[in-house]
């Protein structure tokens, strides 16, 4: 029995060891799925789900003892800094935005005042009047930089996906060509092309469908030393009525430098848009779909990992200087001094996920968090597209933490009402929800795993995030949260300047992941009688002023016909 239960897990792990044997990997995958279905029919799955945490990867070991002088030395997420660079910032420099309009206006304002760099990474740039307004802002800033008495230092770097950015006659490329032609020395447009779309497959798959093979999905918007981390694309609905999540990191030069280097690294392994709308590779770089796939992926892995490792080394040196010198100031003293930065109380860890290049840091951290979730912990998940991998599903059903999952109702799914096959996508997600919740009910876990749907008239829903929170015996809250292709983790000692806070007293620590591959860990130690504020997950942000319905409205959950939260 134990061997039967562990078999699918063993095979899924074996798949990762067979990158060059797709036929065997597919066969093992089918056998694994078949064994899962057979076990479901026999109704004997429940006891073995408790083995999921034991079969998942162990928590990465800290290679050096925690520093007793460092405030973050006491938080339980410090092992993440062994994987990625650790950035310390003041929570007063962190702000969560709550609406698409606020996101759009902030971006325009930041572009207009940028003096040195504008770096934007997104899936695509839309073609409507709002997107043109954004391009016009960039053009105006470049014009002003040329009119200055000194030589211009303003550089603009834009990273988009090749297939999505090339869709249609009027597309992201045609929107940006005027900038490239007018400012060829200052503007760079990179178009990432997945190495998996090549050969006969590339010739046969039509537009739109070719985007299912693989995409560039980083969303970061950077202006001089300030950064907006989001899941929003550069399209009109994301500026008006498509709810997403956005965190603004103001005057954080080390973080801005890192993301500039990361976007440039991905840009270096991408196709470069030319003024005549042609594309070409950086000299010496393997072509993503014409060159050898293995050679390209290895070169891309090295280019990206060099950035991560260099930043880790740099931040370790800065860490030593910051916490092992007498120059550290409190926020109040720093404000009075004016010439030195306030003490960091929030730590940010960028988690990178680029599976074609065998970079799976976000996956490692997420699985570790879910594996370590214990009784008494609460995990909040929010996604516009509910489709858990089997590994994550086993962890959700096999651990003892409480899960609160927020999904998009079919009406706020971005594909609702679409023509053709795309119009059936919302119903497909409802079917996946139904299957998942049926399994929850068959295991008697509907009190521990709760599902809700987001709904708002005239809006769509695109927020993705995860938060782990645990109440301590000291009256504090431990929280860790992440959200979906560029995610932050942060740790904060004092109150981050973020809307919709959890108030707590005593010792607090936690992490907040508001979007894809980046993590923010937050740790707080309050003075006697002082209330601390820790950030809620993106879940709290997207619910502000909106409506969330229990899945009873779908008709496949027990209880009243409709229940509003």
Per the annotation, the verdict on 224 as an active-site residue is yes
Characterize the bridge pairing of strands 519-525 and 346-351.
antiparallel
**For the residues of 238-264, what is the DSSP string, one character each?**
HHHTEE--EEEE-S-HHHHHHHHHHHH
Q: Please, which residues have CB within 8 angstroms of residue 560's CB and are 6 or more apart in sequence? A: 552
- Yes or no: say if 442 and 43 are a contact pair by the CB < 8 Å rule: yes
State how far the Cα of 194 lies from the Cα of 21, in Å rounded to an integer: 20
Catalytic option among 155, 217, 319, 552 = 217
Known catalytic membership, residue 75: no
CA 534/CA 520 separation, integer angstroms: 12
| CA–CA separation, 17 and 13 (whole Å) | 7
Smallest CA-to-CA distance from 87 within 264, 316, 332 is with: 316
**Alpha-carbon 98 to chain mean position:** 17
Instruction: Determine contact, residues 71/521, Cβ cutoff 8 Å.
Output: no
For residue 167, what are the contacts with CB-CB under 8 A and spacing of at least 6?
124, 207, 208, 211
CA-nearest of 558, 403, 521 to 83 is 521
Of 460, 479, 483, the C-alpha closest to 532 is: 479
Exposure letters 43-76 (e unless 16+ CB within 10 A, then b): eebeebbeebbebbeeeeeeeeeeeeebbbebbb
Torsion of CA 460, 466, 471, 476, to 10 degrees: -90
Residue 346: name the closest of 51, 530, 131, 87 by CA: 87
Of 136, 224, 251, 257, the active-site residue reads 224
Say which of 95, 219, 319, 552 is annotated catalytic: 219
Q: What is the end-to-end Cα distance of the chain in Å, rounded?
A: 42
Residue 263: count of CB within 10 angstroms of its CB: 24
Q: CA torsion, points 529, 531, 532, 536, in degrees to nearest 10?
A: 150
- Residue 471 CA to residue 126 CA, distance in Å, equals 43
Q: Are strands 279-281 and 487-492 parallel, antiparallel or unpaired?
A: unpaired
Decide if 355 is catalytic: no
How, if at all, do strands 246-249 and 94-97 pair? antiparallel
Give the Cα separation of 173 and 161 in Å (integer): 10
Q: Can you spell out the DSSP letters for 146-186?
A: HHSSSPP--EEEEEEEHHHHT-SSS-HHHHHHHHHHH-TTT
Query: Positive or negative, the Cα torsion across 330, 335, 341, 342?
Result: positive
Please return the burial class of 407, using the count of CB atoms within 10 Å of its CB with bins 0-12, 13-18 and 19+: buried
List, by residue number, the catalytic residues: 217, 219, 224
């Amino acid at each position: 029995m134990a061997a039967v239960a562990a078999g699918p897990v063993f095979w899924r792990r074996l798949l990762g060891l067979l990158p060059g044997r797709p036929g065997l990997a597919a066969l093992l995958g089918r056998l694994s799925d078949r064994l899962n279905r057979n076990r479901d029919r026999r109704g004997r799955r429940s006891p073995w789900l408790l083995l999921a945490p034991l079969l998942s990867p162990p928590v990465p070991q800290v290679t050096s003892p925690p520093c007793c002088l460092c405030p973050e030395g006491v938080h339980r997420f410090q092992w993440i800094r062994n994987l990625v660079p650790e950035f310390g910032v003041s929570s007063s420099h962190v702000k969560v935005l709550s609406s698409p309009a606020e996101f759009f206006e902030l971006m325009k304002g930041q572009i207009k005042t940028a003096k040195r760099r504008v770096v934007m990474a997104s899936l695509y740039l839309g073609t409507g009047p709002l997107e043109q307004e954004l391009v016009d802002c960039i053009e105006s800033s470049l014009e002003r930089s040329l009119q200055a008495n000194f030589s211009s230092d303003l550089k603009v770097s834009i990273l988009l996906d090749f297939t999505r950015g090339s869709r249609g006659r009027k597309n992201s490329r045609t929107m940006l060509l005027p900038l490239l032609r007018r400012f060829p020395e200052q503007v760079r447009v990179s178009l990432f092309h997945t190495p998996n779309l090549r050969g006969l497959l590339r010739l046969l798959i039509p537009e739109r469908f070719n985007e299912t093979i693989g995409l560039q999905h980083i969303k970061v918007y950077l202006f001089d030393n300030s950064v907006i981390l989001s899941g929003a694309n550069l399209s009109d609905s994301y500026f008006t009525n498509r709810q997403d999540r956005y965190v603004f990191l103001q005057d954080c030069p080390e973080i801005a430098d890192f993301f500039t280097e990361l976007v440039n690294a991905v840009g270096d392994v991408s196709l470069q848009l030319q003024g005549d709308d042609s594309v070409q590779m950086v000299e010496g770089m393997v072509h993503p779909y014409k060159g050898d796939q293995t050679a390209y992926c290895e070169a891309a892995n090295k280019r990206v990992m060099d950035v991560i490792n260099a930043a880790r080394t740099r931040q370790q040196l800065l860490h030593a200087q910051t916490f092992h010198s007498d120059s550290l100031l409190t926020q109040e003293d720093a404000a009075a001094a004016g010439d030195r930065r306030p003490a960091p109380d929030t730590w940010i860890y960028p988690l990178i996920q680029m599976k074609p290049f065998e970079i799976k840091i976000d996956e490692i951290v997420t699985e570790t968090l879910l594996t370590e979730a214990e009784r008494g912990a609460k995990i909040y998940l929010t996604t516009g597209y509910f489709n858990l991998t089997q590994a994550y599903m086993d962890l959700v059903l096999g651990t003892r933490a409480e899960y609160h999952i927020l999904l998009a109702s079919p009406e706020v799914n971005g594909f609702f009402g679409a023509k053709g096959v795309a119009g059936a996508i919302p119903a497909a997600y409802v079917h996946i929800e139904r299957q998942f919740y049926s399994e929850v009910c068959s295991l008697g876990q509907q009190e521990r795993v709760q599902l809700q749907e987001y709904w708002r008239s005239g809006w769509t829903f695109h927020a993705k995030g995860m938060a782990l929170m645990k109440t301590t015996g000291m009256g504090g809250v431990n929280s860790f949260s992440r959200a979906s292709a560029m995610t932050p983790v942060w740790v904060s000692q004092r109150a981050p300047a973020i809307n919709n806070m959890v108030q707590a007293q005593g010792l607090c620590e936690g992490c907040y992941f508001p979007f894809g591959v980046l993590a923010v860990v937050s740790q707080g130690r309050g003075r006697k009688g002082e209330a601390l504020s820790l950030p809620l997950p993106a879940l709290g942000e997207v619910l502000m002023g909106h409506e969330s319905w229990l899945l009873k409205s779908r008709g496949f959950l027990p209880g009243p016909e409709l229940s509003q939260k």
